[in-house]
Amino acid sequence: MTIKGRKVGFVGAGNMGEALIKGLLAANLVPPEAVYATDVRLERLKELDRQYGVQVAAGNAELVRHVDVVILAVKPQIIEPVLREIAPAVTRRKLLISIAAGVSTARIRAALGKEARLIRVMPNTPALVLEGVTAIAKAEGLEPGDLDIAGEIFSAVGRVVVLGEELMDAVTGLSGSGPAYVALVVESLADGGVRMGLDRLTAMTLATQTVLGAARLLLETGMHPGALKDMVSSPGGTSIAGIAALEEGGIRNTFIKAVERATLRSRELGRGPG
């Protein structure tokens, strides 16, 4: 089953909503006239209309009535009132896909007050440049091909993995929050370069391209990170001296703890208010 020939609606047209619109159109999966959007900011909708030619819906419930696939791209803090608003328009003919971080399918079904074809996903911000990674949670009550449609949509902005919903908080702690960790690494590497005499622009160029290149090398070759470390580290050389400094600072344990703490926080947020 495919998204082609179907209408897609975005309840919420923020950065992630725009990234998905951009990806779908760039991949020629849907034409602009088959993409609908709503947002609390009218100027934002006008901007998307000008840039991509998408359709602006009169309201959230009206959008749901017009489309086949609904992307719930609103903040977790406001998703429940939005769900109550669209509930009258939700039928089994609609596929709902939620990208609200930490909000379980159980909470979404409870707010809707009815059964629905519902998929929970966790994308990340590199989707903005079509280099994201999205986890799609398997769910009950879906039609054959629903997971294929979700996979097709999010493959337009990067890579996709499918797993159980019980692992979604760990995904949030790793890939959802991960771009912030990597940004901190890039900034720290650049600061080190500046400290050693490089100008800021050159240091940032070297740091960002080094991180990008190392990631692509690991991804495309399937090489173990330890093998790349060993490849770069010659006996008594510069790299092993730098690695020793990182190990002195507890670099591995710090990153492990960062993922763990973000995962636990995702679980807390997922329980909702109170």
Q: From 172, 132, 177, 161, select the one nearest 18 (Cα to Cα).
A: 132
pLDDT tens, N- to C-terminus, the chain (274 residues): 789 999 999 998 888 999 999 999 999 999 999 999 998 888 888 999 999 999 998 899 999 999 999 999 998 888 999 999 999 999 999 999 999 988 899 999 999 998 899 999 999 999 999 999 999 998 888 999 999 999 999 999 999 999 999 999 999 999 999 999 999 999 999 999 999 999 999 999 999 999 999 999 999 999 999 999 999 999 999 999 999 999 999 999 999 999 999 999 988 877 766 5
Domains, the chain = 8-172 (3.40.50.720), 176-267 (1.10.3730.10)
pLDDT at 101: 85
pLDDT at 58: 84
Note if the pTM is more than 0.85: yes
pLDDT at 274: 54
